[in-house]
Every structure is written in structure tokens, then in C-alpha cells.
Chains A and B, each alone.
Chain A
Amino acid sequence: MSNTLVVPYPSTARLRVVSRIAAAVLGGYVFAWGTVAAVTSLLSAADMEFHDAEFLGAMAGLLAYLAAFLGTVATRRLALAWLVLLGAGALMTAIGSFVQSLLT
């Protein structure tokens, strides 16, 4: 299993590993941030107390980060992973700001 990776691999393969890790770490963070923003704002809109909404948002964000991270490491389609993480992250972040603008 991991032994195969100890052998030095060509630079394109190495670049793919770097891209995969970057997608998992950075893309995962964007996705998690979006989750926190969307969940927090939507629960606030549903009349939940702000700190409760913030707490549930943070929990959802952490679990989303974990799932996104594991999924991105395992996926065969790295480009799609980048697209989904950044796209969904940005979309959910926008939802957060939009819901806030309706409430304030």
C-alpha cells in the first residue's frame, strides 16, 4: 500500500499529490467556511438564538471539513473535487451574506 509511494515518482505525479493535498486543505477550508456561514445564517433566519446557530454552524463546518478532506484524498477526479469544493463553498458563503442582508 503506502510502500509504493516511497519510491520517488516523476514530477507530474508529485505535482498531482501537491494539488490533491492543496485541494483537501484549502478547498476543504473554503467549503467548511461556506457551510458555517450558510448554516449559521439560515438557522438565525429560522429564529434560533445567534450563539446557538453559531455553535451548530461550527459543528457542521468541522464535519463538512472532515468529510471534504477524506473525499478529496480518495477521489479519482481531482479537478471535479476542486470545482465542487470552491464552487459550493463560494455559493454557501454568498447564501450567508444574502440571508444576513435580509435580516439586518
Chain B
Amino acid sequence: MFANFRQAMAWLHTWFGLVLGFVLMAAFFFGALSVFDREIDRWTVPTTRIAPQPMPSFEQVLRPAFERMHPTPEAIDAMRSRVDGAMPQRFDTVVNWSAYTTHRDPVLELYAGYEVPNAKDPEEAIWAYDTIDPRNGKALPDDQLKIGSGFFYPMHYSLTLDWKNLGIWIVGFSALMMLAALVSGVIMHRKLLREFFTFRPGKARLRSVLDLHNLTGVVALPFHFFFAFTGLVIFASTYYFPVGQTQLHGLHELHEQVEAQETGLPHDRAGVPAGLASVDAMVAEAQRRWAADGKAGDVGFLMLQHVGDANGYVSVYRAGTDRIALVGDGIHFKASTGELIRVDPPATPTGRVSEFLTGLHLQHFRHWLLRWFYMLGGLAGAVCIATGFVFFVEKRKRQHAQRGSQGARIVDALAVTTVTGMVLATLGILVANRLLPENLPARGDWERYVFWCTWALALLHAGWRSAPVAQGLANPAWREQCWAIATLALAAVALNGISTGDYLWRTIATGYWPVAGIDLFLLCSAAVACLTARALKRRASAAQSRIAGMEMARV
């Protein structure tokens, strides 16, 4: 089919890059936004605009909050089909309580799992979730959509298509094709080093688009390769190759038994009620031990297993803010006495590689400059894919126009939707977040609808305005959607100030960067969109007058 290997790679790069580029664009763009997911949460849930807090006292804050929790009626309904006989309405046996925070979280997320007496799978628990203010334990409205960590972040890895994990599979396959596109791209262009330094903005249109595609692809090549690969590794054993849960389930079980014996952490309840010693004292002891190892002592994750049972234990994990590797350094205590059961041993060499790779992708560490580089790397990936679309269209549209083919026109309309349309949808949900009434029932669902509707409108608009592409001209939708981006971005900043009083000058004056940073980023986006729209306008007028000139000459 192909004369040589390079031709095969070019074919692969072109066609798989085109089809899966639409997915990759979303993965890169929402991945870049997820770098600041907690900050976006602050912008979108104004009641939580406070400084990050450490893990609070268990006895004073967490325990009363945990004891208040109970599965929602929706969770109970959802569980109904996985139970033999009647569904219990109360759940009193706590499998575990846990609390999770990071150095960027002013709010604390609580999770509680309860035993379901007649569940078909006796291991399955029913879950309750809560978000509290760690300063006083007051419950915060948990039904408000945390748009950063609860919507943009899942968009990044699953497109929020939860049915049968379809989204995770689509994104995973696209990540594999990203790797294939990078390898094939390198094989197609052997003059890698030269392309690193080549950008000819003034040259012919096609050449400068291709330069930018190569530049953003090559400059960030290690970044792109690394993120696509580690993203796959993070999900591989759970979703893509669940070998340990299926074919090699026996080996996995064997390991669990050995591990339970080695660690001394009971797998099951004893069935004997028991009290709870001071958890704060256990946390203090864990911090003393970390400090003795020269490690920062913030608690990231606290878990009580088999609550109220003689087999109960408390696990304290460190927040890995001081190193790249995603480490827990877990320390475990007997719940009833506070006696130390186990200190997790240092990871094996393989374990350290795994912790490093996942840590580098998920970035729990505290390093703001690196955090910005992640964001820029993600946006460079988005630019690389966007210029790939533009190159595909520019290369073909005149040919297609002569043949009367609609191919370039369709691809171009889809590219408009994926590039500017996606930004519009993102701005749409932010604007909706500030416009919808505060106590609207199912407010989060409405916000999501606005997101998808804005995106659908962008698609309709791009299709409706696409006719010039079939004549070898540019689609004016690019330009018009740039203006829409500028308008919505400015509107979002203004609405944030009007609805919360947190005007940009105030947030800057008080140094509240989570909100000030997002407002500034929105203003920059508006400026870039304006400049782009004006440049496109100039180019379109030049093309118009050239055609007019040609027609004049013919007359």
C-alpha cells in the first residue's frame, strides 16, 4: 500500500491525527485548565474564596462532620439494583471515613463508606460525600458544581462520557494515537533540530502554519510524549488492561492475602465493638516520624477503616507537596488504642518509578512556576493540533474547490468548532455560573447544559458560515467566534465583579491570586482573541481584493 516506511508514517500522521485530533484538542485544553482546577473552583464557588487550610483536628472538626453524614436518597436509589431483597434505609456500620486535601484546597472533602447488609457483592459499600469548611466544620453546599475539579478535570480524561467508561477509552485511544503521531511526525521530518528554530511568519501561508505546527510539536515533544504516555500508564491497570482484575485475578488475590499478613492491617471487621483513641495524637505522632525523616509534615489523606470495631485502624498519609513523586508515606495506628501498627516501607525501585511518573503527571507538589509551564505545555499541544487542522485544510481547499468536493469545508467547520468553539463553551459555563440564580435547583446541571449548548451553537455557526471554504476562501466563522470569545471573556470578568464584589483591583490589592489570576487570564484571552480576529479580517480583505483584481483583469 505504501512505497516506504516514511510514506506509511505520513499517512498515519495525517489521517489518525485528523480524526483523533478533535479528541486530543479537548484532552490538551482541559488538561491545561485542570492544572488550575482548584483555583477555577474558587472562582466558580464564591462562598469558598478563602485561603488554603491544613487538615483540621479530627476530634474537634472532622468527627462531628463524619457523624452527620449519610448516603443521599439518590445514592440509595442507585444502589437498589445491586441488593438482594429490600434496600435498607439506614446505614450504621461504617466501612471507612476519610478526608482529603491538598495545599491548594481551602475546603475539605469528606468521604464515608457504609456496609450494605444484603448487597450482592458483600465488598461493595454505599458512599456519602460532603464538603466542609475546615476552620469550623460547617457543611458547605456540596451540590454546587466545582467546575474546575468536577467538570474541566473529568473532561480532560473522560470527556464526561461516563457510560461504560466510553470517554476514558476514547481519550486513551487518542493518547495512544498522540504517541503514534509524535513518532510518525519525527520520522516524517528528519531535520528535527532545524525545525526547533524555524518559524517564518512572513512566508507563504502554508509554510508558516506548518512551521508553527512543527515548532509547537518539537519544542514540547518530550512534554507531549511524556504526558500522553503517563496518562495511559495511570489508567492502564484499572481500565485499559485490567489483567489483574480478570485473567490474573488469582495472582492478585494471592498478593492481597500475603500483603494483609505482612502489613498486619486487618482486611475484615472483628465484629467486636471498640472505642476510638485520640486520632489527633496519632496524627501528631505520624508528623513527628515524617519530621525525623526530613519530610514536610502536612497531612493529605486521613482514613479510619472499620470504624467502631476492634479491628479498626487509622491511616495517616502525607501530602506530597515537597517532591514530584506521588508518595504517601502512610503510617497506620490501631484505632482503639492508638498503638502503632505499621510504617509503610520505602518504595521499591519500580515503585519509585511509578510514583515519579504519576506524580509528574498529577502534580501534587508545590511549585507555581512549574505549574505555569504545565499550563503552557498543554496550550502548546493545543496549538500544535489546531495548526495541524489548519494545515490539513489549507493544503487541500483549493484543490477541493476545483473538484467541487466538500471535504475541506467540513473539516474546517469541525476545526472551528473544536478550536474556538471549545473556548466559547468554556467561557459559556463560566458566564452561566455567574448569571444563574444562586439557589436554582440542580444548578450544576444547568451549567453543564449551557456548556454543551454553547458548543453546539458554535458548531451550527461554523457550518452555516462555511460556504466560502468550498470556493477556496477562509471561513468567516473563525473571525466571528474570536470576537465572541473576546466578548464572553470580558463579560465573565465583569460578572464576577458585579455578582461577588471581587473586582479585579480588589483581588489584586488583597493578593487573592486564585480569583485575580483567572480574571487576568480571561483578560489576556480577550486581548489575544481581538488581535486574532483583526489579523484574520486583514487577511480576508487582502484575499477579497486579490480576487477582485483577478476578475478585473479578466474583464
Contact = CB atoms under 8 A, between A and B. Distances in A.
Interface of A: 1-2, 5-6, 13, 16-17, 20, 25, 32-33, 36-37, 40-41, 44, 48-52, 54-59, 61-62, 65-66, 69-70, 73-74, 76, 93, 96-97, 100-101, 103-104
A52 B351 contact: yes
Contact of A52 (B10, B180, B252, B348): B348
A20 B16 CA distance: 13
B144 interface: no
Contact of B236 (A58, A70, A100, A104): A58
Given A1-B7, A36-B241, A93 B254 contact: no
Contacts of B243: 33, 36-37, 40, 54, 57, 96
Interface string B229-249: 100110011001101100110
B248 A96 contact: yes
A93 to B, nearest CB: 7
Given A17-B1, A57-B243, 12 more contacts: A2-B14, A6-B396, A36-B243, A40-B244, A40-B251, A49-B350, A62-B176, A62-B232, A62-B240, A66-B183, A74-B9, A103-B251
Contacts of A1: 7, 10-11, 14
A13 B303 CA distance: 59
Nearest to B182: A66
Where chain A touches its partner, the secondary structure class is helix
Contacts of B14: 1-2
A100 B251 CA distance: 6
B181 to A, nearest CB: 11
Given A66-B180, A70-B183, A74-B5, A93 B236 contact: no
6 contacts: A33-B241, A50-B251, A57-B243, A73-B9, A74-B2, A74-B8
A50 B9 contact: no
A49 B353 CA distance: 14
B1 A62 contact: no
B250 interface: yes
Contacts of B407: 6
A59 B244 contact: no
B254 A103 contact: yes
B244 A50 contact: yes
Contacts of B7: 1
B15 interface: yes
B518 interface: no
A56 B8 CA distance: 30
* Interface size classification for chain B: 35 or more
B251 A65 contact: no
A20 B176 contact: no
B180 A70 contact: yes
B10 A58 contact: no
Contact of A97 (B5, B247, B252): B247
A8 B412 CA distance: 20
Contact of A37 (B232, B240, B247, B348): B247
B250 A100 contact: yes
A2 B10 contact: yes
A15 B289 CA distance: 65
A104 B350 contact: no
Interface string B7-46: 1111110110000000000000000000000000000000
A55 B350 contact: yes
Contacts of B176: 62, 65-66, 69
A51 to B, nearest CB: 8
A62 B248 contact: no
B83 interface: no
Contacts of A17: 1
A18 B527 CA distance: 45
Interface of B: 1-2, 5, 7-12, 14-15, 173, 176, 179-180, 183-184, 229, 232-233, 236-237, 240-241, 243-244, 247-248, 250-255, 348, 350-351, 353-354, 396, 399, 407
B25 to A, nearest CB: 20
B9 A40 contact: no
A54 B235 CA distance: 12
Contacts of B2: 74
A61 B233 CA distance: 10
A82 to B, nearest CB: 14
A77 to B, nearest CB: 11
Given A50-B255, A62-B229, A103-B251, A70 B9 contact: yes
Contact of A70 (B1, B184, B250, B351): B184
Q: Shortest 9 CB-CB distances between A and B: which pairs?
A: A50-B255, A58-B236, A74-B8, A52-B350, A2-B14, A104-B250, A1-B10, A36-B241, A55-B354
Nearest to A39: B243
Given A6-B396, A56-B350, A66-B179, A50 B252 contact: yes
A37 B179 contact: no
Contacts of A54: 237, 243-244
A100 B10 CA distance: 42
Contacts of A55: 233, 237, 350-351, 353-354
A52 B407 CA distance: 48
A49 B250 contact: no
B351 to A, nearest CB: 6
Contacts of B8: 73-74
Contact of B241 (A41, A58, A70, A74): A58
A5 B11 contact: yes
